[in-house]
């Protein structure tokens, strides 16, 4: 069941709200970027995401996976404290177009129980095979 969550960066310069269903699979990925950032995400359609504060504080790092059209991913982060609350993605049919990958760690009102119960898909991004479960992923 979808629920409205509120999130922010460490210094509160960037704030957002979004609808997520944490009973649906969340994702941890073993691609080079996500592994280094330890990014745990839940996907939401662009219409279910609202930046409520801090557009001027956001910095943008763009990346396009090898099999995607450019520019595909906008890794946005707070220019003050460096926390990456979300990534904006290009058009994917599975998400009905553009999407947001929300950093679950930046959710201010997700309970410990909700986070503990959230199922996790460990994506094999290292091999650009995101639907496939990564073989070794405990370190993520």
For residues 103, 99, 16, 14, the Cα torsion angle rounded to the nearest 10 degrees is 70
The pLDDT score that the predictor gives to residue 36 is: 87
Mean pLDDT of 23-37: 90
Domains in the chain, please, with CATH?
Answer: 3-59+77-86+102-133 (2.170.150.70)
What does DSSP assign to residue 13?
S
- Residue recorded with tokens 């999130």: 7
Phi, psi of 137 (to 5 degrees): -145, 5
Q: Using one digit for the tens of pLDDT, what is the confidence trace for 70-107?
A: 557 888 999 999 999 999 988 777 667 789 999 999 99
């Amino acid at each position: 069941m979808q629920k409205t969550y509120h999130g922010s960066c460490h210094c509160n310069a960037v704030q957002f709200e979004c609808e997520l269903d944490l009973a649906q699979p969340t994702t941890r990925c073993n691609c080079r970027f996500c592994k280094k950032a330890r990014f745990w995400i839940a996907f939401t359609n662009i219409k279910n995401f609202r930046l409520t504060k801090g557009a001027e504080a956001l910095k943008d790092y763009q990346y396009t996976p090898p099999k995607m059209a450019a520019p595909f991913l906008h890794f946005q982060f707070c220019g003050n404290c460096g926390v990456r609350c979300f990534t904006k993605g290009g058009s994917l049919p599975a998400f009905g177009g553009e999407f947001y990958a929300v950093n679950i760690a930046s959710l201010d009102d997700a309970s410990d129980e909700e986070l503990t119960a959230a199922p996790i898909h460990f994506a094999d991004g290292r091999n650009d095979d995101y639907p496939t479960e990564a073989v070794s992923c405990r370190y993520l």
